[in-house]
Homo-oligomer: A and B are copies of this chain.
Amino acid sequence: MRTITAELLTIGDEILYGQIVDTNSQWMSVALSNVGIKVIRKTTVGDLEEEILNAFAEAETRADIILITGGLGPTSDDITKPCLAKYFNCEVRIHEEALAEVTEFFKSRGRELTEINRQQAALPICCEKVTNKMGTAPGMWFERKGKVFVSMPGVPHEMKLMMTDIVVPKLQKTFQTPTIQHTVIRTVGIGESFLADKIQPWEQSLPPHFKLAYLPSLGEVRLRLTAMGENKDQLAAESNRLVEQLRPLAGEYIFGIGEDPLEVVLGNALCQKKLTLAVAESCTGGYLSHLITSAPGSSEYFLGGLVPYAYDIKMAQLGVNPETLNQFGAVSEETVIEMANLIRTKFNTDIGVATSGIAGPGGGTPEKPVGTVWIAYADKGKTQTRKLQLSKDRMINIRMTAIATLNLIRQNLPQ
C-alpha cells in the first residue's frame, strides 16, 4: 500500500520572529498520523507573496496533501487567500453561504458586521468552503491533479475543530488511508525511565507490526501503542490483549486507556461512586480547582474550593489552628492534614484535599527550599499525606502538585 504523505505549511511573520510558539503543527502531526497519513516536512514562511507561492509549488512536488495554517485574518498583513487565488489562478468572490455564516457569527455576539469582516466571506471560486464554527475566516479546500491543498486559520481552536469535524474525515475519504490502531495507555506517578525499566520485557515481546512510543508530559507518561494492518477489529483485539499483558507489570500507575485526562477519569469515578469533593489549595492557587472544573459535568461531584492564599485567611476562613501554623509552618504535614479535614467538614463533602508548598521563585529556606510541597487527602475514615520535592519553576510546581493531588485521590478512592 502506498504511503499517503502530507506537508504542513505555516504562514506568519510572528512565528519566524519567534513571538509565538507553533503548537498547531504538532497537534496536526498527531491527528494525521492517527489516520495513517505521514507528515514528511514542516515549513514556516513569512507574510510575503513570493515566499508563499514558492512554498506552495515546492510542497506540491513532494506531498499528496498540503495543509496550510495562518494568514487568514481580516487585516492587510494576512495574504494567504489572495496567494491561493493566484496560485490556483481563479478569482475571489463573496461566497453567499460563507457570508450568511459570518453574518450569523457576528449577530449571535450582538455585534455589527463591518466591511472588513464581510470580506472574510470572499473566497476563490475554485475552492470548496470549509466551515469555521469557531470563528469568522472560513477554511478552503482545493484539489488539482490528485493533490489536495487545505487552508485553515492559525487560531488553534478554530483549526482543531475544522480538522476534526471536516478535514481529516474528508482526507480519509479522498485518499485510501491504511488502517491504523492507536491505543493510548495513560500513567501517572512514575517517570519515563523508571516506567521503561519496569515494562522492558513486555516492550521487547511486542509483535513486529506494533510500535511503542513514550509521550511524557508534566506529571504523566502516556504510552502510545500503534498497530498497522488491514483489519481494524483484529488490530483492536490484539491491542487489548497487549494492554492486559502490561497490567501485571505497571497496573498501579495506569489510570486509563484513551484520550481522557486524569481529571476526567477521576471525575467519572467520583460520579459513579456518588462521592463529593472539596479542595483547599494554597500553593496551587486555584489551579487544582480549575483542573477539576475543566471537566464538563464536574458540578456533579465538585462542590467547591477555597484558596486561602494569605496566612490570615488560612485561619480566618478555613479555621486552621494558629498554633499549628506557628509550630510547624504553613508548609507542613500537620497544616495540610488540618486543611484537608477542615475543608471536608466545612463544605460537607465525602472527600477533602489540600495543598501547601513553596511554588517559587521566592520564599525558599534551607530547610524548605523552593519546590517543597505537602499534599493531603481526607475522607471519613482516613487521612493520607505526601511530600513532594519538585523543581525551581513556579508553573511546573503548580502543575505537578495538582496532578499529584488528583493521583492521591485516585489511589485512596473508597471502594
A interface residues (Cβ-Cβ under 8 A, vs B):
10, 13-23, 25-31, 33, 38-46, 51, 58, 73-75, 77, 108-110, 114, 116-117, 134, 155, 157, 182, 184, 192-194, 196-197, 212-216, 222, 224, 226, 281, 284-294, 296-299, 302-310, 312-313, 317, 346-347, 360-362, 389, 391, 393-396, 398
- Given A41-B43, A109-B389, A290 contacting B285 (CB threshold 8 A): yes
CA distance A313 to B114 in the complex (A): 44
Given contact pairs A16-B42, A110-B389, A285-B298, a sample of 19 additional A-B residue pairs in the complex whose CB atoms are under 8 Å apart: A14-B213, A18-B26, A18-B33, A41-B51, A42-B42, A42-B43, A74-B192, A77-B213, A134-B393, A284-B290, A285-B294, A286-B287, A286-B307, A289-B289, A293-B307, A296-B360, A296-B361, A302-B309, A304-B308
From the candidates B42, B74, B297, name the one contacting A193 in the complex (CB within 8 A): B74
Chain B residues contacting A18 (CB-CB under 8 Å) are: 25-31, 33, 39
Q: A390's closest neighbor in chain B, by CB?
A: B109
Query: What's the dominant secondary structure at chain A's contact region?
Result: mixed
Contact B317 A310 (CB under 8 A): no
Contact A304 B310 (CB under 8 A): yes
**Residue of A192, A305, A307 with most partner-chain B CB within 10 A:** A307
A252 to B360, CA, bound (A): 33
Which residues of B lie under 8 Å from residue A109 when comparing CB positions?
389
Find chain B residues with CB under 8 A from A116 CB: 193, 196-197
From B25, B114, B288, A286 is in contact (CB under 8 Å) with B288
User: In the complex, A281→B285 CA distance in Å?
Assistant: 13
User: What residues of chain B lie closer than 8 Å to A284, measured between beta carbons?
Assistant: 290
Given A285-B293, A293-B286, also A393-B157 (CB < 8 A): yes
Question: Which residue of chain B has its CB nearest to the CB of A314?
Answer: B304
